[in-house]
Structure 1
Amino acid sequence: MQREQKSNSYIVGAVLIMGYLYYRATFQQDFYALPNIIANLLQSQPLSGLFATFTFRYGEQVVSMGALGYFGFLGFFGSKIWMFLSYFILAYLWYGGLSGKIRDKVTPIVVALLLSISYAAADEFHQSLVSPAFAMKEDVILASAGAILAIIAGWFFLTVRKGRK
């Protein structure tokens, strides 16, 4: 019975994360602006010399300190790390919830991956319909990488480690 409750908690957590991701994509946000508190803490702009050496394209956008400024550059990476972690947590919760309900070892992996990656694609499609936000295939790839890594971590922590005890 306790395993069933734990499994249900994982699934409820996954649905809450999906709701958060939908809510976040719905409203206009300045993705590359850091809160004033962080900006005040980093007034000296540490590592700006190192960051100035990086220039790359993400989709059709040039990402560099020259193009975005110091705080825009950090904000870009912060938003991408946050997205990666959000889909990592989403996939981990789906895997944890489904592995408690389905005895087969492969089915929870496949279903959790399909749910997480398809939600990432649906979220980007949703962003294309919402005027202030923009959709990028690179974001789906980044979210998918987070989901795949979460499934590997979930398999290790929920299956392999449990077998060692």
Structure 2
Amino acid sequence: MQKEQRSNSYIVGAVLIMGYLYYRATFRQDFYALPNIIANFLQSQPLSGLFATFTFRYGEQMVSTEALGYFGFLGFFGSKIWLFLSYFILTYLWYGGLSGKMRDVVTPVVVALLLSVSYAAADEFHQSLVSPAFAMKEDVVLAGAGAVLAVITGWFFFTVRKGRK
């Protein structure tokens, strides 16, 4: 009974995270809010010399301290880390909820990955309708990487670790 309640809690948590992700994508995100918050904490701009050596393209956007400024560069990475962590948590919750309901080891992995990556793609499509500047296929790949890492972590904690007890 307790295992069933825990599985249900994980699934409810996953649905809540999906609701949060939908809500977040509904509004045009102020891409410059995070850099302003960072500017208050890192006024001395530590590691600016190191960050200046990195230049790459992410979708259509050039990412560098020259193109975005120091705080915009950090804000870009902060938003991508948040995206990665959001889908990591979402997939971990789906995997935890499904692995408690199924005896098979492979099915929860496949279903959790499909649910999370499909939702990431649907979320990007939704963003293209609301705010075309922020819908990127690279974000789906990043979310997918978070989902794969979550399944590996979940498999360790729910399967391997359980076998040790």
Alignment of 1:1-165 (within 5 A): 1-34=1-34, 36-131=36-131, 133-165=133-165
Deviation at 1:132, TM superposition (A): 5.8
Deviation at 1:50, TM superposition (A): 0.5
Distance in 2, matches of 1:89 and 1:104, equals 22
Deviation at 1:6, TM superposition (A): 0.2
Distance in 2, matches of 1:35 and 1:65, equals 12
Deviation at 1:134, TM superposition (A): 2.4
Distance in 2, matches of 1:123 and 1:17, equals 12
Distance in 1, matches of 2:37 and 2:124, equals 30
Please give the TM-score of this superposition, normalised by the length of structure 2. 0.96
Q: What amino acid is the match of 2:8?
A: N
Q: Is the 8 A contact 1:28 1:133 kept in 2?
A: no
Q: How many residues align?
A: 165
Structure 1: unaligned runs, 5 residues or longer: none
Q: What amino acid is the match of 1:51?
A: F
Distance in 2, matches of 1:80 and 1:36, equals 17
Point out 4+ residue stretches in structure 1 off by more than 3 angstroms: 35-38
User: Among the aligned pairs, what percent are the same residue?
Assistant: 88
Distance in 2, matches of 1:120 and 1:161, equals 29
